[in-house]
Structure 1
Amino acid sequence: MTLTPEQQSEIDAQRASGTTTLRATAPGMEQHLYTAIPVLDHGFIRVIDYMGDDAAITQAARVSYGKGTKAVSNDEGLIRYLMRHWHSTPFEMCEIKLHVKLPVFVARQWIRHRTANVNEYSARYSILDREFYIPAPEHLAAQSVVNNQGRGEALSGEEADRVLRYLRDDAMRAYDHYEEMISDVGQQGLARELARMNLPANIYTQWYWKVDLHNLLHFLRLRADAHAQYEIRVYAEALCEVVRDWVPFAYKAFEDYRMGGATLSSGALECVRRMLKGEEVTQENSGMSKGEWREFMGVIEG
């Protein structure tokens, strides 16, 4: 990722203009403010603003306990209890606003998480930059033969070279035509809102994305998962590091109960109980389908 001199100057100015505040701040998050964290070849995430910290979560939870019960639990223990029992409202008391630069096809996956506020760079009014996501060779993969949404083995040799060449050449050709169509030199020039439809899905866009912690953790649970598409997963992984520094108690509970935990059906729990009693349980006598049994054994065997 390369920042323009103007972008770097803006970041330097923002980080230099410290202000005094009476509100709670998170030291770890203060270190992230405004700084661009590189993702993919031209992308980044930047924390623009945030509200709340671990204490804000416990403060919101304790308000419902009644007067005189403030010390019911220590903060970390209470946060773990809230996470363990799927209490969502206290986590909604924390919010974060991000500036994200990402390929359009990644943005179309990201926007499916609708519980956020989004304002995207408009190609109706502005001209998009000549920046495209081109995968590194090790991330060029064939279609998976077992998962319609997944990737198989990496491409190699002449095929990999040809695919990379197509991706670069097609993107550049489309942008050349885009520039030519919107130019008003010797012609009227096509409206930007029409010319943009010729641009490929790997061109970069930017947006501001504001979300509360509860919905952000839901996003991370799905998109930082090993099964998520690589190009959105790396954004989620970068965000995980930010959240870990922002709300360390909440993030540790999230790691333990969401990312590292597992949810079992009533039938799966019954199978576990039978196994603990020494009974031999198989897919045939478990009451599960083959797919359910395969996932169950993946949890049990690790």
Structure 2
Amino acid sequence: MTDDGAEMRFLDDVTVELVKHSASDTDVLWAARVSTAGEQSLEEVGTDPERSKGLINFLMRDRHGSPFEHNSMTFFVSAPIFVFREFHRHRVGWSYNEESGRYRELRPDFYVPGTERKLVQQGRPGKYVFVEGSPEQHKVVTEVMEASYRQSYAAYQEMLEAGIAREVARAVLPVGLFSSMYATCNARSLMHFLSLRTKSEQARVPSFPQREIEMVAEKMEAAWARLMPLTHAAFVASGRVAP
């Protein structure tokens, strides 16, 4: 327990929740067909997308991207701060609002890699791989991280108790601290994110994301695949290249 009664938690996973959406495969169809059908494309709003999955595959294959933008998904994400610093590199088609250490006292939730997280980097930049760590290495990571987190959060609490402003006291907190945000995107921007932040044998262009942001991406992809299964299948079939 910390001085203010909050329980310090060491977490090895991230949270992703789809909180709001207006997204379906049909959205792609009527957006695409306005180019040839004009006002008659409104008739596609309630159509069965299964009858037109060939059109979705064509749009994806030939990279006609704009029809994939007429939808919206809002996710709640809780993850380490270092994940958000990478996430916010994705700016086109994304909107973010993150919790603020200026306006609230930050909770003592910290990231410690689980035993399945590969710890050792081998090779030079551009050609390196990650391999499993030994039990001894996992022990070192866990013990050192937890000790560092306890020390930094104690320093944070000490300054708050001395009357120091939250925006100043937060400077001692590490990037392994969990933060939370709402992230809103459309299918096209999400596909671009997934193409860079997941590693897949089906990808035409290989990507090498940090595992922790890939954990977020995998949960987002699973939610999106349930909303727009034909679009997701076309994305995978096209080599996971965003249109």
Among 176, 182, 199, the alignment partner of 1:208 is 182
1:136 aligns with 2:117: no
Equivalent in the alignment of 2:34:
63
1:159 and 1:44, CA in 2 relative to 1: closer, same or farther beyond 3 A? closer
Residue 125 of structure 1 and its aligned partner are, at CA, apart by 0.5
- Report the 3-state secondary structure (helix = DSSP H, G, I; strand = E; otherwise coil) of the residue aligned with 2:110: coil
1:82 aligns with 2:63: no
Q: How many residues align?
A: 217
1:140 and 1:152, CA in 2 relative to 1: closer, same or farther beyond 3 A? closer
- Report the 3-state secondary structure (helix = DSSP H, G, I; strand = E; otherwise coil) of the residue aligned with 1:228: coil
Equivalent in the alignment of 1:99:
76
Among 132, 154, 159, the alignment partner of 2:132 is 154
- Report the 3-state secondary structure (helix = DSSP H, G, I; strand = E; otherwise coil) of the residue aligned with 2:90: coil
- Report the 3-state secondary structure (helix = DSSP H, G, I; strand = E; otherwise coil) of the residue aligned with 1:66: helix
- Report the 3-state secondary structure (helix = DSSP H, G, I; strand = E; otherwise coil) of the residue aligned with 1:50: strand
Equivalent in the alignment of 1:127:
105
8 Å CA contact 1:42, 1:131 repeated in 2:
no
Percentage of pairs with the same residue:
31
Amino acid of the structure 2 residue aligned with 1:190: I
- Report the 3-state secondary structure (helix = DSSP H, G, I; strand = E; otherwise coil) of the residue aligned with 2:35: coil
Among 242, 245, 256, the alignment partner of 2:226 is 245
Q: Report matched runs for 1:192-207 at 5 Å.
A: 192-207=166-181
Distance 2:172 2:151 in 1: 10
- Report the 3-state secondary structure (helix = DSSP H, G, I; strand = E; otherwise coil) of the residue aligned with 1:206: strand
Distance 2:239 2:131 in 1: 29
- Report the 3-state secondary structure (helix = DSSP H, G, I; strand = E; otherwise coil) of the residue aligned with 1:126: coil
Q: Report matched runs for 1:1-302 at 5 Å.
A: 41=12, 43-66=14-37, 74-115=51-92, 116-147=94-125, 150-183=128-161, 187=162, 189-226=163-200, 227-259=208-240
Residue 258 of structure 1 and its aligned partner are, at CA, apart by 3.0
Equivalent in the alignment of 1:297:
none
TM-score (norm 1): 0.67
Equivalent in the alignment of 1:24:
none
Flag as ranges the 4+ runs of structure 1 deviating above 4 A: 67-71, 148-151
Distance 1:256 1:61 in 2: 20
Once structures 1 and 2 are overlaid, which stretch shifts more, 93-102 or 131-140? 131-140
Distance 2:138 2:181 in 1: 32
Between Structure 1 and Structure 2, whose CA radius of gyration is higher?
Answer: 1
Once structures 1 and 2 are overlaid, which stretch shifts more, 114-123 or 62-71? 62-71
Distance 2:165 2:95 in 1: 28
Deviations 1:114-151 (A, max 9, x none): 12110100000101111001001331412221445854
Using CA pairs below 8 Å that are at least 6 residues apart, which structure has the higher relative contact order? Answer: 2
Distance 1:246 1:78 in 2: 18
8 Å CA contact 1:221, 1:258 repeated in 2:
no
1:124 and 1:66, CA in 2 relative to 1: closer, same or farther beyond 3 A? same
Residue 235 of structure 1 and its aligned partner are, at CA, apart by 1.2
8 Å CA contact 1:222, 1:228 repeated in 2:
yes
Task: Specify every segment of 5 or more residues in structure 2 that has no aligned partner in the other structure, as ranges.
Answer: 1-10, 201-207
8 Å CA contact 1:46, 1:100 repeated in 2:
yes
Distance 2:197 2:127 in 1: 14
Q: RMSD of aligned C-alpha atoms?
A: 2.3
1:199 and 1:167, CA in 2 relative to 1: closer, same or farther beyond 3 A? same
